Structure 1
Amino acid sequence: MRAAVYHGPRDVRVEDVPEPELDASTDAVVRVTHTAVCGSDLWFYRGDSDREPGSTVGHEPMGIVEAVGDDVRSVEPGDRVLAPFKISCGSCEFCRKGLHTSCVDGDGWGGDNGGAQGEKVRCPHADGTLVRVPDRYADDEDALRSLLPLTDVMGTGHHAAVSAGVEEGADCVVVGDGAVGLCGVLAARRLGAERIVAVGHHEDRLELAAEFGATDVVAARGEEAVERVRQVTNGGANHVLECVGASSSMETAVEVCRPGGTVGYVGVPHGLDGGLDLFSFFGDNVTLRGGVAPVRAYAEELMADVLQGTLDPAPVFTKTVDLENVAEGYRAMDEREAIKVLVEV
């Protein structure tokens, strides 16, 4: 089969790789029809994180089930499914409490199960991982485009909002204007926030944030951003979503959080070699909650809203490529020409 393979910084190629097959009775093989390039994919693409050359890549699969093991009960061949970026058993202590990303037998996409930017994947723990799309939407391209972000960025933005404690009537600040930050705006609006301040560096992305429900946008960095947010919010907000993972974004998040408030963080930490200064959190009794988003825990409730038309993260996809041109998708995201790239397989 054809799949995207990492060969080194800024070198992703589509090549022939072995086709995944059922390996256990709890497996399913899925023919991928839609996937995406994620902002976190840019770390290995840019050489900012380690990745084994020759490895398949991608972690946001949607497709059609082709085969299932004897013990799989939740899906069958022909079903349309999507899958979170982490594989989980669905039955261990952590999965039962909604922390699927801490599954004791969890895994990621790649290796012998195939990278999600390829024609097929083998899904271990199919019952715990795969999310079945209702039959009536199985061939609805508009619905599928809106559901695909549930594999990662929409669930991650939602986790930031939940971790920050966003509730009806709340004031909140979203730090970051990438796909996760934009989905954080959607999530905050969905949870009933009255004021949503989006902070970022790109005017076009902040325009989309406004379309998604941000009541105020701040296009600034550092102390200027902090000062403008404090002006807009009369001193800061009780609920702050940190959706970048850089030291500068975390510093901004804690500085715009009111004493006693909560920062919900989902940006994967990078560039924090000097460590995180906890004194700002300590001095103002600011709570820090979050981490890697257990998007499987949120999939059904978010899918229900997407399918009834009250939630639509599809506009985060600003470029579409086919599988053979996935390298162009990486380039476009690397050069900030696209917010998020949809890959049609």
Structure 2
Amino acid sequence: MRAAFMYGAGDVRVEDTPDPVLRESTDAIVRIVRSCVCGSDLHPYHSMTASEQGTPMGHEFLGVVEDLGSEVSGLRRGDLVVSPFTYSDNTCEFCREGLHTSCRHGGFWASGDIGGAQAEAIRVPQAQGTLVAVPGVGEDSALLPSLLTLADVYGTGYHAAKQARVTAGTTVTVVGDGAVGLLAVLSAKRLGAERIILMGRHKDRTDLGREFGATDVVAERGDEGVELVRELTGGDGTHAVLEAVGHMAAYEMAVGAVRPGGVISRVGVPQYERAPVGFGSLFGHNVTLTGGPAPVRAYIDELLPAVLDGTVDPGKVFDLAIDLEQTPDGYRAMDRREALKTLIRF
């Protein structure tokens, strides 16, 4: 089969690789019909050390079940399935608490001997707990882009809002106008937020943010952006700040924009190890810091119905569609800000 590998910063190649096979009785083999490039894939695209051995890429996919291990129940060959960006058994104590990213028997795609999802097929460990069948939806359905967002970006945006305790009447700032930030806006709106301030400077993206529910847009960055957020909120800041970037500058804006007693919820993959949490930043204002990798498996069943009936259309974050062989072009387009999020078709 064909699959995408990264050999170093800026070096993505699509190559032949062996077809996946069942290894454990809890595995499934899934033929991928839609995948994508994630904003988090751009971090290694900028910084990965060159290597003679490529790293498989991709962690978001929709596919069709081709084969099943003997212990897998609840799925059938031919099912269209959506997969979270981590695999999990959905039965351990962490999964039962809704923390599938810490599953005792789980893990991440493109780690160890697990392939990546920017590929024609993939072996899925813990298939029964991981995969969610989507009955009645065909491989050519217009719903596929929105269903694909359930694998990561929609669930991640929703996780940001849930962790920040967004409810009716909450005021929210979203830092970042990437796909996750925009779907954090959508999620905050769905949870009843009263006011949603989107901090982003790309008009095509912030226009989509307004469509998703943003009431205000702040294009300025740094102290100037924070000051504008505070002006919009009577000097207080917002109850919740959803940080969807992962860089220190975004964290600092989040600290500046949150009101006393508020919550900063981080879902952008941090590109730093230390951040201010002391008296002058968080402690003195009773600010809660939360977030982390989204356990999207915990949210798929909740978010799926509104996608299926068309109430929401999170797939609008995909503004470039390519074939697998064009995957390097998809990375370049996102890196150059020529695309918000790249969909890969098979």
Which TM bucket (shorter chain)?
over 0.9
Provide closer, same or farther for how the CA distance between residues 50 and 296 of structure 1 changes in structure 2, counting only shifts above 3 A: farther
- Pairwise mapping of residues 271-290 of structure 1 onto structure 2 (< 5 A)? 272=272, 275-279=274-278, 280-290=281-291
- Aligned amino acid, residue 154 of structure 1: Y
Secondary structure (helix, strand or coil) at the match of 1:252 reads helix
Residue in 1 that maps onto 2:229: 229
- Check conservation: 1:169, 1:192, Cα contact below 8 A: yes
TM-score between the two structures when normalised by the length of structure 1: 0.96
Cα offset, 1:163, TM superposition: 0.7
Aligned counterpart, 2:331: 330
Aligned 8 A contact 2:8 2:50 in 1? no
Give 1:47-196 correspondences, 5 Å limit. Answer: 47=47, 53-110=53-110, 111-134=112-135, 136-139=136-139, 141-196=141-196
Deviations, residues 208-259 of structure 1 (Å, cap 9, x unaligned) = 1111110101101001100111111222111111111111111111211110
Encode CA deviations 1:285-306: one digit per residue, 9 max, x unaligned: 1001111110110011111111
Task: Give unmatched runs, 5+ long, in structure 1.
Answer: none
8 Å CA contact 2:7–2:50 kept in 1: the answer is no
- Does 2:216 align with 1:213? no
Residue 304 of structure 1 aligns with which residue?
A: 305
1:209–1:22 distance in 2 versus 1, CA, 3 Å = same
Deviations 1:292-337 (A, max 9, x none): 1101100111111111222211111010100010110000001111
Counterpart-to-counterpart distance in 1, 2:40 and 2:114 = 20
Q: Deviations over 1:141-171 (max 9, x none)?
A: 2111111011111000000000111001221
- SS state of the match for residue 151, structure 1? coil
SS in 2 for 1:112: coil
- The answer as to whether partners of 2:8 and 2:48 remain within 8 angstroms in 1 is no
- In structure 2, runs of 5+ residues without a counterpart are none
Q: What percentage of aligned pairs have identical amino acids? A: 54
Q: Which amino acid aligns with 1:39?
A: G
Cα distance in 2 for partners of 1:123, 1:49 equals 28
- In the alignment, the residues of structure 2 paired with residue 49 and residue 229 of structure 1 have an alpha-carbon distance, to the nearest angstrom, of 39
Mapped to 2, the partners of 1:245 and 1:49 lie a distance apart of 20
The structure-2 alpha-carbon separation of the partners of 1:138 and 1:51, relative to structure 1 and needing over 3 Å to count, comes to: farther
* Counterpart Cα distance in 1 of 2:80 and 2:132: 9
Cα distance in 2, alignment partners of residues 15 and 337 from structure 1: 25
Q: Distance in 2 between matches of 1:252 and 1:298?
A: 28
Q: Which amino acid aligns with 1:107?
A: G
1:44-85 alpha-carbon deviations (Å, 9 max, x no partner)? 111258988322111001110000011101211000001111
CA contact (8 A) 1:20 1:113 kept: no
Partner secondary structure for residue 319 of structure 2: strand
User: Which whole-Å CA distance do the structure 2 matches of 1:3 and 1:60 have between them?
Assistant: 14
Distance 1:145-1:66 versus aligned 2 partners, 3 A rule: same
Aligned to 1:24: 24
SS in 2 for 1:241: strand
Counterpart for residue 265 of structure 2 = 264
Partner letter of residue 19 of structure 1? D
Q: C-alpha separation between the residues in 1 aligned to 2:237 and 2:22?
A: 52
> Structure 2 CA distance, aligned partners of 1:189 and 1:249?
21
Q: Tell me the distance in 2 between the aligned counterparts of 1:313 and 1:240.
A: 21
Structure 2 letter corresponding to 1:214? A
Partner of 2:317: 316
Q: Secondary structure at the match of 1:336?
A: coil
Matched residues in 2 for 1:150 and 1:131: separation? 10
Distance in 2 between residues matched to 1:277 and 1:112, nearest whole Å: 37
Please give the alpha-carbon distance, in whole angstroms, between the structure 2 residues aligned to 1:314 and 1:186: 12
Structure 2 CA distance for aligned equivalents of residues 2 and 140 of structure 1: 21
Q: Write the deviation string for residues 15-37 of structure 1: whole angstroms up to 9, x where unpaired.
A: 10011001111110000010000
Structural RMSD (CA):
1.4
Q: Is the 8 A contact 1:43 1:49 kept in 2?
A: no
**How many corresponding residue pairs?**
342
Q: Which AA in structure 2 matches 1:278? A: V
Give the partner amino acid of 2:17: V
- 1:139 Cα deviation (Å)? 3.5
